[in-house]
Amino acid sequence: MSSSRVSDGNSPAKENEKEGSRGSTLKFNKKHPRPIEAWSRAISIRQACHSSLSTKYAKFDKSMNTVNVTLTALSSSAIFASMHPTGGSSGTSYLPFGAGAIAVASTILQSVQKALQYAQLAEQHKVANRQLTKIKFRLEVITGENFEDDGTLNMERLTEWVREYEDLLESAPIIPQYLFEKEREKVALREEGEAWEYMKNDSDGKIIAGMKRTSSFVYVDDNKQDDDDSTVENETMKAKKTKRVSEAM
């Protein structure tokens, strides 16, 4: 499985290249605003990826430790049983060979576990997730609820944040491409469905009902709805009256 360090198209590194050197201060440009919201979304995606990978590698490491401890216990039991036979020699002659085979399997498993370094990978992704949480909080402190570069942001603080974000991306462990794309789709679906149960009344007395996974709204006039209900009720009463007359005839 091939893995690569994932980078989104609106990364701060590419934005800084437009300014010149990496140490230059960002400046407000109305024609090329900074993608603040895209940066925040990318951080959320990376947080989900690092959290998932940390849990995954931690489970792998615990599973291998459990198997290794079990093999060691079986090997030790077989060695002690072969040293103190209780029955005939034919029943215990295979115990030393079994103990040796289990010991070899345990040694191989320990070598594989050391080479894969699941425990270290789990810790690295856990640390990266914590750092992304801190840096996302700092971005929210700088921007507040305004995720648009409209000239009101503190560009010096934003420049410092961009440098820290770039350093974090360079030092963070690798995220597989397939996992990044998977988490990006989840975030997109979650953002699209944020207002699907939203409902409120406007000043004209109309009901604004948010549709599921859409950003459109349906406007329903209360007066028109009452007229429609009255029409349906009148039609129902007329049908019942016609039915009674036909039965009487």
CA distance 211 to 225: 19
Q: How is the chain split into domains, by residue range?
A: 12-192, 199-248
- pTM reported for the whole predicted model: 0.62
Percent of the chain with pLDDT over 70: 62
What contacts 7, CB < 8 A, 6 or more positions away? 13, 169
Instruction: Note the pLDDT tens digit of each residue in 142-191.
Output: 888 777 777 777 888 888 998 999 999 999 999 999 999 999 998 888 77
CA distance 145 to 149: 12
